[in-house]
Chain A
Amino acid sequence: MNIDSLKKLSDTCYEIPKTGGMRVPGRVFVSRQMAKDMEADQSLLQVANVACLPGIVRASLAMPDMHWGYGFPIGGVAAFDAEEGVVSPGGVGYDINCGVRLAGTRLEASEVSLRLRDLVEALFREVPSGVGVGGNVKLSGKDMKKVLVKGARFACEMGMGDEDDLLRTEEGGALPGADPELVSDRALTRGRDQLGTLGAGNHFVELCAVDEVYDPDAADAYGLFPGQLAVSIHSGSRGLGHQVCDDYLATLSRHVKTLGIELPDRQLACAYVKSEEGRRYLSAMACAANFAWANRQVLLFRVREALMHALCVGPRDLGLSMVYDVCHNIAKLETHLVDGRPRKLCVHRKGATRAFAPGHPAVCEPYRAVGQPVLVPGDMGTCSYVLKGSETAMAETFGSTCHGAGRRLSRSAAMKKARGRRIDRELADKGILVRAAGRGTLAEEMPEAYKDVSQVVEVVHAAGISTRVARLVPLAVIKG
């Protein structure tokens, strides 16, 4: 499938016509310039596959950072009718509530430029990283269940955050309906020592500087100013979330056969939202999502401690305060206008970010007049963006937009490209310090492995499904 076989709806949106088992068309937000990356893998086919699932509403959507996933594409958005549609663990992904948290400081980046090496070392010491690596928060069975229900609030009750952090977290840092009894012992075992740990792969803690402000009013509302030192955290629900997805995929891959639903890919295993099986998955998924929010809350606490220690400053001088926390692997029950009427939908965002418009009641009060902040990290060598949600997103993408740069190269291709090179030195030459727990991480995560995040953002901005507020450039990165 290539872009010339698609129907052009605008310069930034192309349609995959409804054919075969597709119940709705596919709709891909992309520029012609970016399309060649999508044509190189099977992601467009995956958009069409998702369109075959029962109860899908309007279109199977893809954001410009889309790339080949498993089942659903990464960068996919699909909304299913809550009465007649399905929920699919593969539409959320293994890293349930993988997401990004951004916090600003009172400091200017220039004030710490001579201390960056100390900051990197302090962060690397304080933030446990690597897939199987545990942290120093050991949860009893009772406390684990509290985490799964309370999410970020649990960490705040442990003194690792406050109400303002929760206010500036999507869903207040906890999805309702979480039932720990529906989480397997295996998942609980995997999560027991992983609260406050980063994980591996593309997860990171990044010290960055606000490099450019495009929308001064929104930036001001979000507490961002030019030259500001900020911290971005990318992590998720760790082994607990992976196991929840794994458990329910296995269960639903058998269940779906009893429903007579023909699947183009077994990873699309699903259950009707209103069925017992569907409700059980959503409830277990909520537990994992809540674990992820607690995890990012603890990580922010660790980052604060590391920065204060390394800079010899108190909390007031550092002034580390939340901008926002978004999830980009999730399924949520939301109400959207469809053909002019409100309709309850199960919106899957797999590698996509919620981008609610100004005035939406789900946007926290401090940002309601401006719109929800959207955090879009790029690769570790270029830049990241803060965007804001829009009415166009509400109308066209169920209030969704892109989630990052999106991979362009496979991990093995990246490793080949990195052979004989020192990625850390190349980044240091650009003034960016990096530390990674895994030996191959820097090669797999090298900047060339990703699409150009500025091009991704250009597409969503031009399409109006979220608009630019500020750009951040990396100063130092800790990888798993």
Chain B
Amino acid sequence: MTISYILLDHTADLGIRVTARTEEGLYTNAVLALADLLSGPLSRSGARPLSLAASGEDRSEMLINLLREQLYLFTGEKLLVAGVEGLALSPGSLEARVLAVPYNPEVHEIRHWIKAVTWHQAEAEQRGGVWEARVIFDV
């Protein structure tokens, strides 16, 4: 799993800056970055395919909503994302096809106990030919 993101310093919480060459790649990398923050790389053995759908009036809202869905997958359904198989983007909405594995506390060590995806300083946009996003998580 190759992920293009860096951690941002925030006094209380945890932020990431994600980059990609395409808009689809940006959302994909954001999902992979959150997966990495939660559990690190996971084996895809026994993973099952799932869809994460999100919509939004702008890109940052769509990004936040996508990551909210992914986080709920873990906090509510105890599933961790092991990979992204594809992402379909249409105006105002997207659908990510992910591979998910059941969380097993005996096997998976949670790196960061993320409580929520915040809207604080959230952005997703293209700058100089590079797609960039910033998200701050409540931990």
Chain A interface (Cβ within 8 Å of chain B)?
Answer: 41, 43, 67-71, 74, 90, 93-95, 130-132, 186, 189-190, 200-201, 239, 242-243, 245-246, 249-250, 253-254, 257, 265-267, 269, 407-413, 438-440, 480
In the bound complex, what is the Cα–Cα distance between A93 and B139 (angstroms)? Answer: 12
Q: Are B119 and A266 in contact (CB under 8 A)?
A: yes
Q: Which residues of B contact A200 (CB under 8 A)?
A: 113
Q: Are A250 and B113 in contact (CB under 8 A)?
A: no
22 A-B pairs with CB atoms under 8 Å apart are A70-B12, A70-B121, A71-B118, A71-B120, A90-B119, A90-B120, A94-B115, A131-B113, A131-B115, A132-B78, A243-B75, A250-B68, A253-B61, A265-B119, A267-B118, A267-B119, A408-B11, A410-B9, A410-B10, A411-B13, A411-B139, A412-B14
Q: Are A266 and B120 in contact (CB under 8 A)?
A: yes
Is B85 interfacial (CB 8 A cutoff)?
A: no
Q: Are A68 and B12 in contact (CB under 8 A)?
A: yes
- Chain B residue at smallest Cβ distance from A72: B120
B 92-109 contacts with A by CB, 8 A: 103, 105, 109
Q: Are A201 and B13 in contact (CB under 8 A)?
A: no
Contact partner, B136, options A70, A130, A440, Cβ 8 Å: A70
Is B110 interfacial (CB 8 A cutoff)?
A: yes
- Supply 7 further A-B pairs (C-beta < 8 A) apart from A70-B119, A201-B113: A70-B138, A239-B115, A242-B116, A243-B75, A266-B60, A269-B119, A410-B9
Is B52 interfacial (CB 8 A cutoff)?
A: no
Contact partner, B76, options A41, A93, A189, A253, Cβ 8 Å: A189
Contact partner, B7, options A67, A265, A408, A412, Cβ 8 Å: A412
Q: Are B11 and A67 in contact (CB under 8 A)?
A: yes
B 106-139 contacts with A by CB, 8 A: 109-111, 113, 115-122, 136, 138-139
Dominant SS among interface residues on chain A: mixed
Contact partner, A130, options B65, B111, B113, Cβ 8 Å: B113
A60 to B: closest C-beta gap in Å: 17
- Chain A residue at smallest Cβ distance from B9: A410
5 tightest A-B contacts by CB? A70-B120, A131-B113, A266-B119, A267-B120, A70-B118
Chain B interface (Cβ within 8 Å of chain A)?
Answer: 7, 9-14, 57, 60-61, 65, 68, 72, 74-76, 78, 103, 105, 109-111, 113, 115-122, 136, 138-139
Q: Which residues of B contact A253 (CB under 8 A)?
A: 61, 119
Q: Which residues of B contact A70 (CB under 8 A)?
A: 12-13, 118-121, 136, 138
Q: Are B103 and A246 in contact (CB under 8 A)?
A: no
Q: Are A74 and B113 in contact (CB under 8 A)?
A: no
Q: Are B12 and A246 in contact (CB under 8 A)?
A: no
Q: Which residues of A contact B117 (CB under 8 A)?
A: 246
Contact partner, A67, options B12, B57, B116, B118, Cβ 8 Å: B12
Q: Which residues of A contact B120 (CB under 8 A)?
A: 69-71, 90, 265-267
In the bound complex, what is the Cα–Cα distance between A412 and B75 (angstroms)? Answer: 23
B121 to A: closest C-beta gap in Å: 7
In the bound complex, what is the Cα–Cα distance between A246 and B71 (angstroms)? Answer: 11
Q: Are A132 and B119 in contact (CB under 8 A)?
A: no
In the bound complex, what is the Cα–Cα distance between A141 and B105 (angstroms)? Answer: 26
With known contacts A71-B120, A186-B76, A239-B75, A95–B115 Cβ distance under 8 A: yes
Q: Which residues of A contact B110 (CB under 8 A)?
A: 131-132, 438
Q: Which residues of B contact A93 (CB under 8 A)?
A: 138
Q: Are A407 and B119 in contact (CB under 8 A)?
A: no
With known contacts A186-B76, A200-B113, A438-B110, A409–B11 Cβ distance under 8 A: yes
Q: Are A439 and B109 in contact (CB under 8 A)?
A: yes
Q: Are A68 and B7 in contact (CB under 8 A)?
A: no
In the bound complex, what is the Cα–Cα distance between A267 and B121 (angstroms)? Answer: 8
A259 to B: closest C-beta gap in Å: 15
- Chain A residue at smallest Cβ distance from B71: A246
A194 to B: closest C-beta gap in Å: 10
Contact partner, B75, options A130, A132, A267, A440, Cβ 8 Å: A132
Greatest chain A CB density within 10 A among B57, B74, B113 is at B113
In the bound complex, what is the Cα–Cα distance between A227 and B113 (angstroms)? Answer: 36
Q: Which residues of B contact A243 (CB under 8 A)?
A: 72, 75-76
